[in-house]
Each structure stands twice: as structure tokens, then as C-alpha cells.
Structure 1
Amino acid sequence: MISGDGGRAGSGDGEPTGPAVVLLVEDDDGDALLVTELLADAEVEIEVRRATSVAGAAEELDRTRVDCLIVDLGLPDAVGLDAIERLRRSTQRHEVPPALVVLTGHAGIDQGVRAVAAGADDYLVKGETGADLLGRSLRYALQRRRSAAQQRALYRSEVRAAETARLERALLPKPLVEDSTVSVMVGYLPGGNGLLGGDFFDSVQTADGTVLSMIGDVAGHGPDEAALGATLRTAWRTLVLTGTPPQDVLGHLERVLVTERPRPEIFVTLCQVAVTPDRHGIDLYLAGHPAPMLLTGPVGAVRCDDLQPTARGRALGIPIDGGWRAQRVEVDGPFAVLMYTDGLVEASVVDGAGAPVRRGRRGAQRVGFDGLLGLVQAELDESGFVGVVERVLRRVRAAHGGPLVDDAAMLVVGWTGAREVVGERSSTLADSAEWARP
């Protein structure tokens, strides 16, 4: 079956979405008519175009997509294998080069074998080729082309997975906290497409025993935001390790952001917490970020409360006046600070049928701060402090009915309250494969 010009193949270099485009390179009108009629009888859904020389075929390849070349080896501007070599050079710009079937007037197999060795997918002898044989050859050549496209797509997928893994390692660093009585639990839940966004966090203990931790969120979602998040996390760790005072870290980090961001409208919210060396004080720095929660009380009776901010600063990268100052919170006994990004509180809630729960004119119901606070407290009451990050992430995902639209991150840093009690350490990357299971 030969389609008209209205049956174009799909754009791009992957598998066609319509009839395959076959370019017949033949200078003899009689042979061209014969091949066209054989193709019509071959019951292959194609669109046939024609060129009478290698130069004309090269121009057609530059203008439009071609899925398969049927080439005569006796052309006015190329004879024998020279035609194959020149056409193969012309197709190098294509991500997946078109298939190539050779037509030869020689009954012997030597020239056809040499043509295949030079890069042709198949060869046919004029006068000995019927519709069935031509159809089989064409289908075989097109299938090889599709297989090559699939192999390339698989390779790209593997490369993309490797790049994502590198970003994941950058966004999920190993906390540099030596004090065994300090708990550090982190978790990252990518958005619905499984790709990482701009959420990032880290935790480092300085030489004087201070434990500095932060969680941040780059506005937007995608590879650029993920790369910027990884850059800012590395910059934050570098600033802390080189002895930058906690009150100066955010200003220096903003300078890195302004230099590295791909667009001037991108900003970052961030929460930084500094636990004093004696473990009885917390300095809280907020840069446009949601305030953390405070977990207090002994094992088996942990209480989760919100930390009311009194010194909230502007987001990083926003061109307005104002800086960031610490809010001191005094603690006595075991405690933990739970920091999170807004992907958790912005997650919508679904009912038993999977439909979003509506709140009148206010739209879909969100988990919200109070809802997240309740989920955390419920997990603490039911299963305790150990593993609370992963369990809360699972609860939010279940309330949403599946993968979240935006990524979400959580960081819990705390002190056990006694030198002989070892703190909890955990790291959770909620990837699509593992979290697809119940």
C-alpha cells in the first residue's frame, strides 16, 4: 500500500507515527516505475519519493525525514559502492540513519555482499525481484532501523538514570556528624515523574561540637533546579567546613545562588538550624521557608509541636532589603527538630475512590501544616521515633493517592538526651521502583 503525501511519517528520528517514507534513488524512469509498482503490490504502508542522483538524494535527506533508501548502484554521479558511501555520509546528521536497500543489475552475489559490508541493510537484483521479496526486504530493513532507534533510546535511558543517580548522591549526602548521641534522619520523595527537583539538605558537625543542618527548596522542578540544588548544598557544606559563622552562611550562599542560577527569577527558600555544643540550645534561621517542628519528650512519649517563628527572613535571591538573624530556642532533655519542604504540605488529599477531596470554592484539600503535624504525631504515638521519616513520607504519599506532584524532603536532627544512648541514623530515597510496591 503506497500512501499519498498526506500520510507523512511522524517527526523526529524515532519510530514513525505514520507510513514509512521510502526514497527511491533511481535515474531510469522505467526501472523506477517497475519498483514503484512492486512496492504498491507488496502491501507495505509507505510513502514513496524519488531522486535521480546521489546529489538529489542528499538534498532530500537534508530537507525531510527518510526512513529507508532504495538505491540503484548505477547512477549518473556515482557508480557502485561510491553511492553507498556518499549516502551514508549524508545520513550522519540523523540520530538514527535511514535503512538502505541496494538495487543491482548484476546477478552475481559479489557486488551485493560488498554493498552489505559497506553499510547496506540488504541487496536485490533487478529482474529477479518480485513484490513479495521486495516487501520482505523493505520490512526487514525498516525493522533494523526501529531496533537501532530502540537501542539508542535504551542507552539514553541508562545514561539518564546514571546522571540522576549522581544527582541523588549529591542531594542525599552522608551527614558529617561525629557525635553518636545526635540523630540524623533524612528522606527524599521525588515528584510524579520520578525525576529529582530542587530540594536539598545537609548536616555537618563543626570543630567546636555545633551541629549545623539545613533544608532548602529551589523554586521550580526539573534538571536545572536539581543541579542548582546540588550546587547550593555543596556550597553550604563548604562554607560550614571552612569555619564560616552560622549567621554569615546564608549571605554567602545567596551570592552563589545569584551567580549560578540559570534565570534571574529563580529564588530559594531555606531553613538552617544550629544545635549548640552543649545540646541545650537551637539557633533557627529562616529564609522564606516553612518553620520546622520540635519533637520533645522521652522515648514512648514524644510530642510534636510547631516552632513559632519570631525572626523570619526573606528567601534567597529576592531583590529586597533584609537579612537573616537567629531565633534562639532553649531545650532541656531529648529533642529533635523536624525540617521539611513544602511538597509535603502542598500534597492534595484523595478519597477512597482516588478522587481529590474538595473544600468548596477553595479547591482541593491539601495535607497542610496541621495535617502534617497530625501525621507526625500519629506515627510517633504508634511506632515511636525510629524510622519516623520514612513512615511519614509513606503516609503523605498514601493520603495523596500515589506519587506527589512536587518533590518533598524531610530532615530530622536531634539529641538523645544522654551520652550512653546512640542516636538514630537513616537515609531514604523514595524512588519510583521501591515505592510502587504496597
Structure 2
Amino acid sequence: MAHASEYGRQPRVLLVEDDPQDAFIVEELLADSGLSVRLEWVRSVDEARRALTALRPECVLLDLGLPDAHEFSALSAVIEEAGDAAVVVLTGLADEQAGMAALTAGAQDYLVKGRVEPEWLGRTLRYAMQRKQAEQAAVALHAERMRAKENERLERGLLPTPLLHSMPIEVASRYRASRGSATPGPGGAALRGRASATLGGDFFDVVESDDKVVHAVIGDVCGHGPDEAALGVCLRIAWRALVLSGVTGAALLRQLERLLEAERPGTEIFVTMSTLVLEPDQRTVRIWRAGHPGMLLHDGDRVKLAEPRHTPALGLPVEVDWHEEVLELPKGGGITLYTDGLFERRLPGAPARWLGEEGMLELARRYAHLDGERFLDALIADVESVTAPDAPADDLAVVHLRWKDPA
């Protein structure tokens, strides 16, 4: 931030000085300093406010003794409007202590009139701009670290460790945020996306109740951002608590919709969801589907698309009676649940073409012989490979459930 080459142009310096003689001296000193800048001169705090908005300078040279300011009011006003600009204050010979106080109040440096040499002035402005840039970088880094920690907390809430006790079921899961790199997740699951990613409200959970019934859910809060992610965490935790309390099916969805309507930031927010019950006979799956995409049904080395009847999503202004559907699971078979981020992918070329669930199914069939972990990795890699490079990718969650082979 200190010199012209970092901006591709001369840095702009705003001088706020009511005395024309002092302003002339500053101009002459800058001309001899070796620092190439574009100097703009204003005479009052009000003029400085307007100039800061219009010019967006890299540095402000501020006289503390302006006639329309009292004590440090000029400094406060300039810092408030300065944005990215460094602020260097000018004090009189009798006010050097004011310069020290200005540093505490937020200025990057101070100079005493009558004691400034050209080289010193240039070096002071250059270092002040560098110091301001370093401060901003530190603030941005701290904010990024805080966002990373918040993302980690939200991901842990959205993507829990399955709560299984005795039932022989294998669970594999993957999550990818809108952007980001792979990171290890809870329970060994690979989570995709992290600090720089845009979290959405995709969530899932798997629990076993006391009657040896396995329950699973996958859901998607419309929209992206911390509010949607936090709402997804809220619904996921509520789902687990209700299931472990014995609430299932349509009654479960009604309670979750009530919670959604109470917690969502706006009435336009809705949630798609599928909640499943895998019976101990290992062949019967009961499904309630609220506006959510279908699922993949695995039978040995084959996979097909299963789309049980669904009713509207949670949170829509319509009367809904969610229906139960029963799915027969092949012996040793499995189910893959997913959110729309897995198949709503734009393919390369024009006009725009989309992968869709049928296109995703064709990719899935290539890897139907693989176990759950490798199946998910291969499928997601293929989906991403066929996505247009410049196309935005929604966040996605995928869960694979399969009864273990007794052998």
C-alpha cells in the first residue's frame, strides 16, 4: 500500500489544513521527499468528509488545530470516513503530547510542524500506509479464522456421527459446501468444504432407537449462509430428539414444520426433507418425503432410481398430509440419499444442459459394485468432472445406508 507500483498509480494523499502557508510547506516537502503522490488539499472537517467519500485516498494528513473541530473531534470524524486510508496527524510545536494521544485514538503516526524534513515526511507517509495495510490484513485474517471456526461448529451440527448401537448397518456420508476443499469429518466421514466455502442448510442424521429400528433423515434448507446453516442444525437436532422420543412419520414432520415456522428468518424459507424408518427385518423401509429428491436403491451390483410419492416441502403456505410409502429393500441392499446439489449441475456447452437425476443415475451405475465409501467418492468425483468449469456448484449432502453382510 506504500507506493505507486502496489496500486498501478500514484497513491492519493488528502491534506486537511486550514492554513495556506502550512499547506504550501507540506506540498514543497512532499515534492522533495522522493515519494510520488497526488496531493489534494481541503481546509475543514466538512470538506474532508466530502473529499474522503469522493476521492477515497490512501492517506490523510490531518491538522489537529482546525477551526471547525474541538480537541480530537476532527480525528474521530476523519477516521470514521477514512475507510482504508491511513491517517497521519499534524501538531504544533506545543502540542506534541496531542500527537501521542492521536496514536491511541487510531492514527497511524504523527508529525510536528516545524520539525519535518522532506525525507522524513516521505518515509512517515509510506510507513503509515504500510502499517494501515498490515492492520487491515490482520483484521481480515482474524475474521477469516472466526468464520472458519463458526463453519466448523455448524458443520458438526449439520453432519453428526451416526448414533447406532446394535443393528448391523453401514453408514457412509459425504458433504461438500458450495466451494472449498476436502477435510476430514466426524466419525471418519470426509466432509467437503471448509472455511472459505459457502455453507448451506443441507443436513442428515442416522440414529437407532431402543426398539432396534434405524431412522435416517436428509434435508435441505433453501438458501445459503450462516442463517440457513444454523436453521439446518436446529432442525437436525430436533429431528434426533423427536425420533428418540418415539415421534415418527407425519407427526414428526408436523412438529418440525412448527419449529421451522418459529425459527426461520423469513416466511420465504422452506425445507425439503425425507425421513426413513429401516425396520429390523432388514427388508422394509418406510418413507415420508416432503418435497425432497428421490433416492438410489442398491441391489447387489445394480442401482436404480426410487421415487416414492412425495408431498410439498415444509414451510409452504399449503395444507399438507404427508403420506407414508413402503419400499421393499433387496437382501443385502442399500439406499443412497442425496440433496439436489448432487444432480442440479450444468454441463459444458451451449445451450445450457443439466445433469439431472437420470444423468446422475447413469454415473452411479458405473460404481454400483463398490462399497458405500468408495461408491460415494467415485460418484461425487464423476459428477464434478462433468460439471461445467464455470458453473456454480450448490452444496450437497449424500448418505449411503446398507445392511452388513452376515458373513
Q: TM-score range by the shorter chain?
A: 0.7 to 0.9
Residue of structure 1 aligned with 2:121, choices 114, 121, 134: 134
Tell me if 1:400 matches 2:398. Answer: no
**Residues 1:386 and 1:30: Cα distance change in structure 2 (over 3 Å):** closer
CA distance, structure 2, for counterparts of residue 267 and residue 125 of structure 1: 62
Q: Is the 8 A contact 1:96 1:149 kept in 2?
A: no
CA distance, structure 2, for counterparts of residue 18 and residue 223 of structure 1: 38
CA distance, structure 1, for counterparts of residue 103 and residue 352 of structure 2: 63
User: By how many angstroms is 1:248 displaced?
Assistant: 1.2
The match for 2:170 is 183
The match for 1:49 is 41
Residue 353 of structure 2 aligns to a residue whose secondary structure is coil
Query: Which amino acid letter does the alignment assign opposite residue 393 of structure 2?
Result: V
**Percent same amino acid among aligned pairs?**
38
Residue 293 of structure 1 aligns to a residue whose secondary structure is strand
Query: Which amino acid letter does the alignment assign opposite residue 325 of structure 2?
Result: Q
The match for 1:292 is 295
Q: Is the 8 A contact 2:17 2:41 kept in 1?
A: no
Query: Which amino acid letter does the alignment assign opposite residue 404 of structure 2?
Result: T
The match for 1:24 is 15
Residue of structure 2 aligned with 1:235, choices 238, 260, 279: 238
TM-score normalised by the chain length of structure 2: 0.81
User: By how many angstroms is 1:192 displaced?
Assistant: 3.7
The match for 1:170 is 157
User: Where does structure 2 lack aligned partners over 5 or more consecutive residues?
Assistant: 1-5, 181-196
Relative contact order, higher structure (CA 8 A, sep 6+): 1
User: By how many angstroms is 1:226 displaced?
Assistant: 2.0
**Residues 1:86 and 1:203: Cα distance change in structure 2 (over 3 Å):** same
Residue 305 of structure 1 aligns to a residue whose secondary structure is strand
Q: Is the 8 A contact 2:49 2:81 kept in 1?
A: no
Q: Is the 8 A contact 1:335 1:416 kept in 2?
A: no
**What is the number of equivalent residue pairs in this alignment?**
382
Tell me if 1:320 matches 2:307. Answer: no
**Residues 1:180 and 1:191: Cα distance change in structure 2 (over 3 Å):** same
Q: Is the 8 A contact 1:201 1:233 kept in 2?
A: yes
Q: Is the 8 A contact 1:102 1:115 kept in 2?
A: no
**Residues 1:115 and 1:39: Cα distance change in structure 2 (over 3 Å):** farther
Residue of structure 1 aligned with 2:131, choices 144, 161, 179: 144
User: By how many angstroms is 1:292 displaced?
Assistant: 1.0
Query: Which amino acid letter does the alignment assign opposite residue 50 of structure 1?
Result: V
CA distance, structure 2, for counterparts of residue 90 and residue 109 of structure 1: 20
CA distance, structure 2, for counterparts of residue 219 and residue 117 of structure 1: 47
Query: Which amino acid letter does the alignment assign opposite residue 286 of structure 2?
Result: D
User: By how many angstroms is 1:320 displaced?
Assistant: 2.1
Query: Which amino acid letter does the alignment assign opposite residue 171 of structure 1?
Result: L
CA distance, structure 1, for counterparts of residue 199 and residue 103 of structure 2: 45
User: By how many angstroms is 1:211 displaced?
Assistant: 0.8
**Residues 1:411 and 1:167: Cα distance change in structure 2 (over 3 Å):** same
CA distance, structure 1, for counterparts of residue 328 and residue 100 of structure 2: 83
CA distance, structure 1, for counterparts of residue 58 and residue 256 of structure 2: 51
User: By how many angstroms is 1:255 displaced?
Assistant: 1.2
Q: Is the 8 A contact 2:346 2:354 kept in 1?
A: yes
User: By how many angstroms is 1:19 displaced?
Assistant: 6.3
Residue of structure 2 aligned with 1:159, choices 136, 146, 159: 146
Q: Is the 8 A contact 1:22 1:48 kept in 2?
A: yes
CA distance, structure 1, for counterparts of residue 9 and residue 266 of structure 2: 39
User: By how many angstroms is 1:51 displaced?
Assistant: 3.3
CA distance, structure 2, for counterparts of residue 332 and residue 115 of structure 1: 78
User: By how many angstroms is 1:132 displaced?
Assistant: 3.5
CA distance, structure 1, for counterparts of residue 173 and residue 82 of structure 2: 41
Residue 322 of structure 2 aligns to a residue whose secondary structure is coil
Tell me if 1:375 matches 2:374. Answer: no
The match for 2:275 is 272
CA distance, structure 2, for counterparts of residue 174 and residue 282 of structure 1: 21
1:357-436 equivalences in 2 (<5 Å):
357-358=349-350, 363-381=351-369, 383-400=370-387, 405-418=393-406
Deviation per CA, 1:149-184, whole angstroms, max 9, x where unpaired?
111111111111111111111111111122351111
